């Protein structure tokens, strides 16, 4: 019997323009599009917006629960910073290319510059 490998998990930090890091509605549309494009199944989601100050837009946290696992982002527009992670299990297929595709699309959506990325094979 071959050992089971649960999947690929990418954890990343990137820099991006503040206005994009404050736009939770655009992120929701983008994440929903990724779920549909990669034929994933969303089973829950939470979006939380943080209040803006007089001169700094508020950031947000978004977490999508997927049958395949999860997708999340946390943003700090005041620092031009986001943390992101995506993990998809390999229950029915090898999802490593999908994980990498979602990460690349996320960087493009946020016009991000990668600061750190870790790939963990589970």
- 65-97: pLDDT as tens digits: 999 999 999 999 999 999 999 999 987 788 999
What integer pLDDT is reported at residue 122 of this predicted model? 84
Q: Which of 47, 42, 44 lies closest to 73 in space, CA to CA? A: 47
User: What are the beta bridge partners of residue 120?
Assistant: 9
pLDDT per residue as tens digits for the range 26-62: 999 999 999 999 999 999 999 999 998 888 889 999 9
Domains identified in the chain and CATH numbers: 26-121 (3.60.90.10)
What integer pLDDT is reported at residue 13 of this predicted model? 98
pLDDT per residue as tens digits for the range 90-120: 877 889 999 999 999 999 999 999 999 999 9
Q: Other C-beta atoms within 10 Å of 105: how many? A: 16
């Amino acid at each position: 019997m071959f050992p089971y490998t649960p999947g690929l998990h990418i954890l990343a930090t990137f820099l991006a323009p503040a206005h994009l890091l404050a736009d939770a509605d655009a992120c929701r549309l983008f994440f929903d599009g990724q779920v549909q494009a990669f034929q994933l199944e969303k089973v829950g989601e939470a979006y939380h917006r943080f209040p803006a100050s007089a001169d700094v837009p508020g950031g947000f946290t978004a977490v999508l629960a997927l049958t395949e696992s999860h997708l999340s982002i946390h943003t700090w527009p005041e620092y031009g910073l986001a943390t992101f992670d995506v993990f998809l299990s390999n229950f029915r297929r090898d999802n490593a290319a999908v994980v990498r595709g979602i990460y690349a699309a996320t960087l493009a959506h946020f016009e991000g510059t990668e600061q750190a990325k870790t790939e963990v094979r589970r």
